[in-house]
Amino acid sequence: MLKQLAEKDLLRLLERIATRRRLLTPQRQSDGSRLLLPWPGGLPELVGTPLQRKPTEIFFPQLELLMELDNSGDVRLPVPADKPVALLGLDHFDLAAIAFLDRFFLSRPTDDAYLRRRHDALLVGLSGLAGPQGATLPPAETCDLELILVPDKLLARPHAKLGEELLAGFTAADPTALRAIDRSPAERPATLLAAARLLQEDQVPEAFWEEIAARCIACGGCNFACPTCNCFGVQDRTFGNRTERSRLWDSCQLDAFMREAGGHNPLGTETLRTRRRVYHKLVADPLRWGELGCVACGRCDRACPTGIGMLALCEDLVRR
């Protein structure tokens, strides 16, 4: 049932969530960007530019301890946090990306490191007039409960049992309040779909990739910023008798991503690597999962220093 939350209700809701969970809320930083951080009390910064760091990072961190081994052969797994996490303020892009990673990591065989962090996590979506400069965000429904900002009001709608429980007792809202904003569902941008089609039909000439790749400075930013990217490397570090095995984000734009020990490299040119990044998301993922691997969040476009993120690249491709 749709609820209406006055400021004090929102605070009460946050407190309710925080009793059982480590609540992370958007907080504005000194440079203006918003990051998901432990809730310090008070009202969260709901409105503004998209969360700078991809929220999937909470479940799949840039650097994560997988296990510790000692010389006697004992293996210790990291202890899960005492409370599950709650992420608040996720827009429909963030939720789509989490759904994508869930399917990837939680399909059998399950990735236990991901599960350890993801298990029992609460997702609070955000939609309505919470975009930059009050722009409208489309419905964010693949979550436990959704906060919807309409003129002068914050509404809340449960999408799962947990959400319903958390919203119990708050004032019901008039469902017509939603009519004040555009509630059309999010759609992937037409250029992305058109580019995907051209790629699937194999209509993109080699020269296009060469030209784009010549501008790639191999910063890895497109991968590190992308909430659906899931490639990782593994490192072992030995401290005396103890060895830590961790995993860390990898990037398919790097030369050694697939390089073999003997020097052979199936992705040995930047052209091959650039093409692969896009093919993977727009051709391989649809074949494997029935869905594009790009949720069109725009993070790679913002992170790419030379202007060849996914959406810019697709636009270029379609235009030609």
Partner 1 sequence: MKTTLTTCPWCGTGCNFYLFTDERGQLSGVEPAAGHPVSRGQLCLKGWNAHAFVAHPERLTVPLYRRQGELVPCDWNSALDLLHERLSAIAERHGPDSLMFLASAKASNEENFLLMKLARAGFGTNNIDHCARLCHSSTVFGLAETLGSGAMTNSLDCFEQTDLVLVIGSNTTEQHPLIGSRILQAKQRGADLIVIDSRTIRLARHADLHLRPRNGTDVALLCGIMRQILADGLEDRDFIAARCENFAAFETSLRDCTPERVAAITGEPEEQLVAAARRFARAEKAMIVFAMGITQHSHGVDNVRALSNLALLTGNLGRPGTGINPLRGQNNVQGACDMGALPDVYSGYQKVSDPAVRKKFAAAWGVDLPEQPGLMATHAMEAAAEGRIRGMLIMGENPLLSEANQGLIRQALQKLEFLAVIDIFPTETAQLADLVLPAACYAERDGSYTSTERRVQRGRKAIEPPGEARADWQILRALLGRCGLQADDTGPEQTMMEISTLTPSYAGISYPRLEGAGLQWPCPEAEHPGTPILHVENCSRGKARFSPVTYRPSAEVPDTDYPFLLNTGRTGVHWHTGSMTRRSHLLDREEREPYVEIHPQDAARHQLKERQPLQISSRRGSIEALARITDRVPAGQLFIPFHFVEGAANALTNNALDPESGIPEFKVCAVRLQPC
Contacting residues toward ligand SF4, per CB under 6 A: 216-222, 225-228, 253, 281, 294-300, 303-306, 308-311
Tokens encoding 126: 């955000």
Q: For partner 1, how many residues bind (rule: CB under 8 A)?
A: 46
Neighbours of 218 (CB within 10 A): 13
Which CB atom, from 129 or from 308, has the smaller least distance to ligand SF4? 308
Choose the contact partner of 64 out of partner 1, ligand SF4, none; CB within 5 to 8 A by kind.
partner 1
Minimum CB separation from partner 1 for residue 291, in Å?
Answer: 27
**Cα→Cα distances 141→58, 93, 256, 265, Å:** 20, 11, 39, 42
Task: Give strand pairing partners of 64.
Answer: 247
Task: Give strand pairing partners of 247.
Answer: 64, 234
Which CB atom, from 129 or from 295, has the smaller least distance to ligand SF4? 295
Q: If binding is defined by CB under 8 A, does position 319 make contact with partner 1?
A: no
Choose the contact partner of 38 out of partner 1, ligand SF4, none; CB within 5 to 8 A by kind.
partner 1
SS3 call for 310 = helix
Burial class of 175 by CB neighbour count within 10 A (0 to 12, 13 to 18, 19+):
exposed
Q: In what order do the strands lie in the sheet with 145-150?
A: 3-5, 153-158, 145-150, 122-128, 85-90, 22-28, 34-38
Tokens encoding 310: 């996914």
Position among 218, 231, 289, 320 found at the interface with partner 1 (CB under 8 A): 218
Based on C-alpha coordinates, what's the Rg of the chain?
21
CA 229, 90, 196, 215 dihedral sign is negative
Choose the contact partner of 254 out of partner 1, ligand SF4, none; CB within 5 to 8 A by kind.
partner 1
Pairing relationship of beta strands 85-90 and 122-128 according to DSSP bridges: parallel
State how far the Cα of 180 lies from the Cα of 224, in Å rounded to an integer.
37
Choose the contact partner of 224 out of partner 1, ligand SF4, none; CB within 5 to 8 A by kind.
partner 1
Position among 53, 116, 119, 183 found at the interface with partner 1 (CB under 8 A): 53
Minimum CB separation from ligand SF4 for residue 286, in Å?
Answer: 13
Minimum CB separation from ligand SF4 for residue 30, in Å?
Answer: 18
Give the per-residue contact string, 238-257, with partner 1 (x = CB under 8 A; - = no).
Answer: xx--------xxxx--xxx-
Choose the contact partner of 237 out of partner 1, ligand SF4, none; CB within 5 to 8 A by kind.
partner 1
Residues 263-292 that bind partner 1 (CB under 8 A): 263
Which CB atom, from 62 or from 71, has the smaller least distance to partner 1? 62
What's the chain's length in residues?
320
Q: Is the bond leading into 78 cis (omega within 30 degrees of zero)? A: no
Which CB atom, from 129 or from 226, has the smaller least distance to ligand SF4? 226
Tokens encoding 2: 């749709």
Q: If binding is defined by CB under 8 A, does position 65 make contact with partner 1?
A: yes
Which CB atom, from 203 or from 235, has the smaller least distance to partner 1? 235
Q: If binding is defined by CB under 8 A, does position 33 make contact with partner 1?
A: yes
Which CB atom, from 160 or from 254, has the smaller least distance to partner 1? 254
Minimal CA–CA distance to 155: which of 124, 194, 131, 132? 124
State how far the Cα of 32 lies from the Cα of 34, in Å rounded to an integer.
7
**Binding segment for partner 1 among 54-62, 115-123, 197-205, 278-286 (CB under 8 A)?**
54-62
CA 155, 159, 163, 168 dihedral sign is positive
Residues of this chain that bind partner 1 (CB under 8 A)? 24, 29-33, 35, 37-38, 49, 52-53, 57, 61-65, 81, 214-215, 217-221, 224, 233, 235, 237-239, 248-251, 254-256, 263, 302-307
